[in-house]
Structure 1
Amino acid sequence: MALSLARLRSIPIPLPPLPEQRAIAYVLRTVQEAKEATDRVIAALRELKKSLMRHLFTYGPVPLDQTEAVELQETEIGPIPAHWRVVRLGEVVKDSFSGGTPSTKKPEYWGGNIPWTTSAILNEDDIFLSRFQRTITELGLDRSASKTAPKGSLIVGTRVGVGKAAVAGFDIAISQDLTALVLKSNVEALFAAYLFKSAFLQEQIRERTRGTTIKGIPRRDLLSILIPLPPLSEQREIARMLQAVDARIEAEEKKKAALEALFKTLLHHLMTAKIRLPEEFVARFAEATP
């Protein structure tokens, strides 16, 4: 619906004295600039993480100035340290299964104490799955194709949200969109979750994805994906380094959210005079250029 010029002109607006206008604009601009600076930090950290992943999955957890000392081997997935192996994902998986959805026409299947989810809950950046969509009952679990993925297993989107992956933070029942991978003891689950964020693994997933209306990757094709397999100690160190960057990104995201909330609150309160800036602060803007 269009707003006429006459209607626009008739809208009442608050009009504080000019020095107070300038002071309000200064405060809001300062918060806005802080949020923009935080956005730039987040973008830089995300680029750092991409570069770090390329480095770690090529040379291992070694400093940049020591990469020339790392003996590399050429493999189907690119260069990796000579003491690493390339294996099929299925070689490090003890058990794998997809899930299902209890009938929504049966209310007795829903609202129990068993967490249940589809792939919609997974974000691309997630490393841990710490949320769920709904809960189901024991009856709903028993009388459907849904299965419970144990805590610590890798949950992968294989039907919707293909390629997203995170480590289950608790036992959780899964839908048909997801596949649970119970890993063997020679694989660190967090390392495996970070592998699923890598470009070379995502490319393999895209090559194996099928379907038109609903695209997915068959479990056997998922398990055929090639992955690098460092010693367990190096897997853990790689995961630790990437978690450190993720923790910094999360802290900056929280800072950004706090600044956005502060801006909205100040905008509302200052424009409606619910709060007023101190007179001595406003006085600084009496002769300032707008």
Structure 2
Amino acid sequence: MKKEGYKETSIGVIPDDWEVLKIGDILKIGSGKDYKHLSEGNIPVYGTGGYMTAVSDYLYDGESVGIGRKGTIDKPVFLKGKFWTVDTLFYTHSFTEVLPYYVYLLFQTIDWKKYNEATGVPSLSKVIIESIKIPKPKLPEQQKIAKILSTVDAKLENITQQIQTTEQLKKGLMQQLLSGKYNVLENRPYTNEELKDSSLGKIPKEWEVVKSNEAFELIHGYQFREHDFVDEGCPIVKIGQINMKGKLDLTNCSFFSLNRSQEFTDKEIKNGDILMALTGATLGKSCLVEGLLYPVYQNYRVGRFEPKNKEGLDKKFLFYLISSPLILKQIFAKINSGAQGNIGKNDFEKLKILLPNIREQQKIVTILRTVDTKIEQLQTKKAHYTQLKKGLMQQLLTGKIRVKV
């Protein structure tokens, strides 16, 4: 039974004073174009992946919502001012009794993949977009809803910027601290008198250049096959479980039988272990395992790193070392170009690395862990506001909760 003041419509229950319209009734859709005939300038060019370049002319000037025509079709973007869009990104214009920002919010609630017209690369057409029905309150209510949600969007944008800034800070710190540019024990740069010549250039006198195979070992997991998998049992960590944030994500794991766990004791992953994806979309991504509450096991294309001299190499320092741009740049330079890159033991063989003494290693770890903690706090905060926005959109854009105008 619907509440008083609400009505049943083709898109569900909405307030009595709201309308059900097609997208084509409230706006027009423009097509992106090639920009290569234009000169360089200060007009941004956008595609489905975001900003691409800047050119001398514009396709549209004003507030608009971009939606992917091909490729990424489910990530609407809010555009304003002068801009150009390429062929893969539609833009909207000629709005009728509707705020562009409100349209942007509405577009975020639409399941665009449901309207995909292609079997290969996802695609949308103007006709399909224009035919989608949406609920529309009057302008004053749109303005109030947009103001509430734009405040949350501004907060999310600010947090995202803080994350990016902190990640850049971490990158710079790793560059300085792991290359011997800064004396962390005395909180100052090294002087020329404190440096010596080495095969890797000038380094602190107390630091060593060692071959990676003398310092640590890369251990592959077990090559589980399809017939090994069961519905429930021991979780298997695959490359997909090492996510882009450097965390171990144990959702959507595969399993093997509990009865076979004794076969793979040497492949059990423990807290404090260092893992790296050796192939696939997360190639080179690594994580320091923390917070495990039950045994998990290592698949073949997941690498595990172990120090050979545990007194001379702090394990957490090793994690930062193998995930640093200094090491990854050397590793990726060795990978054969092809459809999918792979990293193996041979890529780490005889790789030269810099090692400070254990006290300096531990101090470097403390500094970088502090920055990592800050990033994690910001990511948690972002997740909170993302969830808050999602909940508000579900309530406000359907009229389940009304705003006072």
Range class of TM-score, shorter chain: 0.7 to 0.9
Match of 1:23 in 2: 144
From 84, 100, 124, the equivalent of 2:222 is 100
- Quote the residue 1:227 is aligned against: 353
The amino acid of 1:202's aligned partner reads: L
Q: How far apart are 1:148 and its partner, in Å?
A: 2.9
* Offset at residue 48 of structure 1 (A): 0.9
1:100-249 to 2 correspondences below 5 Å: 100-106=222-228, 111-112=232-233, 114-126=234-246, 129=248, 131=250, 133-137=253-257, 139-140=259-260, 147-160=267-280, 161-169=282-290, 170=292, 172-183=296-307, 184-185=309-310, 186-210=312-336, 212=338, 214-249=340-375
Aligned-pair Cα RMSD in Å: 3.4
State how far apart, in whole Å, the 1-side matches of 2:143 and 2:258 are: 63
Q: Which runs of 5+ in 2 are unaligned?
A: 1-116, 118-124
Q: 1:60 deviation in Å? A: 4.1
The separation in 2 between residues aligned to 1:24 and 1:162, in whole angstroms, is 42
User: Is the CA contact (8 Å cut-off) linking 2:242 and 2:249 kept in structure 1?
Assistant: no
Choose between structure 1 and 2: higher helix proportion: 1
Q: Find out whether 1:72 has 2:195 as its counterpart.
A: yes
Secondary structure of 1:105 counterpart: helix
Alignment check: 8 A CA contact 1:119 1:157 kept:
yes
3-state secondary structure, aligned to 1:180: strand
Instruction: Name the CA distance, whole Å, in 2 between partners of 1:35 and 1:106.
Output: 43
Superposed displacement of residue 3, structure 1? 5.2
Larger RCO: Structure 1 or Structure 2 (Cα < 8 Å, ≥ 6 residues apart)? 1
**Structure 2 match to 1:51:** 172
Alpha-carbon displacement from aligned partner over 1:7-50 (angstroms, at most 9, x marks no partner)? 65x9463324x543332222122111111111211111111111
Deviation at 1:207, TM superposition (A): 3.1
Aligned residues: 273
Q: Counterparts of 2:276 and 2:205 in 1: how far apart (Å)?
A: 29
Match status 1:62 vs 2:184:
yes
Report deviation, 1:4: 4.7
Quote how far apart the aligned CAs of 1:189 are. Answer: 1.5
For 2:271 and 2:376, how far apart are their aligned partners in 1? Answer: 23
Aligned to 2:8: none
Letter in 2 for 1:156: M
Deviations 1:47-72 (A, max 9, x none): 11111111211334539972154723
Unaligned runs of at least 5 residues, structure 1: 283-290
Residues 88 and 156 from structure 1, CA distance in 2 versus in 1: closer, same or farther, beyond 3 angstroms?
A: farther
Q: Structure 2: how far apart are the matches of 1:97 and 1:197?
A: 16
SS at structure 1 position matched to 2:391: helix
- For residues 359 and 350 of structure 2, the distance between their equivalents in structure 1, rounded to whole angstroms, comes to 24
Question: What's the TM-score once normalised by structure 2's chain length?
Answer: 0.58
What's the offset of the Cα at 1:204? 1.8
Three-state SS of the structure 2 residue aligned to 1:156 is: strand
Structure with higher strand content? 2
Could you tell me whether the CA contact under 8 Å between 1:157 and 1:163 is conserved in 2?
A: yes
Given that 1:163 and 1:196 are in contact with CA atoms closer than 8 Å, whether structure 2 keeps it comes out as: no
Distance in 2 between residues matched to 1:249 and 1:50, nearest whole Å: 12
| TM-score for the superposition, normalised by structure 1 | 0.78
Residue 26 of structure 1 aligns to a residue whose secondary structure is helix
**C-alpha separation between the residues in 1 aligned to 2:279 and 2:316?**
22
Shift of 1:138: 5.1
